[in-house]
Amino acid sequence: MAIKIGDKLPDIELQVMGEKGPEKVRTGDLFAGKKVVIFAVPGAFTPTCSKAHLPGFVVDADKIKAKGVDSIICTSVNDTFVMDAWGKAHNAEDLIMLADGLGEFAKALDLTQDRTASQMGIRSQRYAMIVNDGTVELLNIDAQGLDQTSAETILDSL
């Protein structure tokens, strides 16, 4: 069963790019005692993700943080190097680019999708959440498009 409002996020070890290379981080540490917006995309450098989803959060990062959000996290089933390069390509230095290279976080949330037909393998669904101290307060999922998961929609929900 997919994660839902009121559930605690699982504590899983993932990676971010640090000054000296990939660094392990625990999701429990990223969310503990903080209000966080996290959004997931099916793939870095893919059309909708690169043209609309990530850029919206980059543009609205200050507005989102002004509403009491401690951090904004972008996650995808991509490796740390890809997430880092994608973040740099879109000036996403105010966001945490969280690599879910093996899809463990997406699987634990039960928010995966099978993209093997298009040679992408198992990926994350497109979603956005507002999380307070590790507990899901809002969960929006888009099967197509960005109606529910855009930065603008999340900003309006804060």
The pLDDT profile of the chain, 158 residues, written as one tens digit per residue, is 789 999 999 999 999 999 999 999 999 999 999 999 999 999 999 888 989 999 999 999 999 999 999 999 999 999 999 999 999 999 999 999 999 999 999 999 999 988 888 777 788 999 999 999 999 999 999 988 899 999 999 999 99
Total H helices, total E strands in the chain: 6, 9
Q: How far is CA 82 from CA 15, 20, 68, 104, in A?
A: 11, 16, 29, 17
Q: How far is 124 from 34, CA to CA, in rounded Å?
A: 23
Domains of the chain: which residue ranges? 13-157
- So which residues are the catalytic ones? 49
pLDDT at 147: 93
Please give the biggest Cα pair distance in the chain.
41
Q: How far is CA 71 from CA 46, 57, 94, 139, 143, in A?
A: 24, 11, 8, 16, 25
Where does 13-157 sit in CATH, by number?
A: 3.40.30.10
Determine the pLDDT at residue 11. 97
Tokens read off for 130: 């507002």
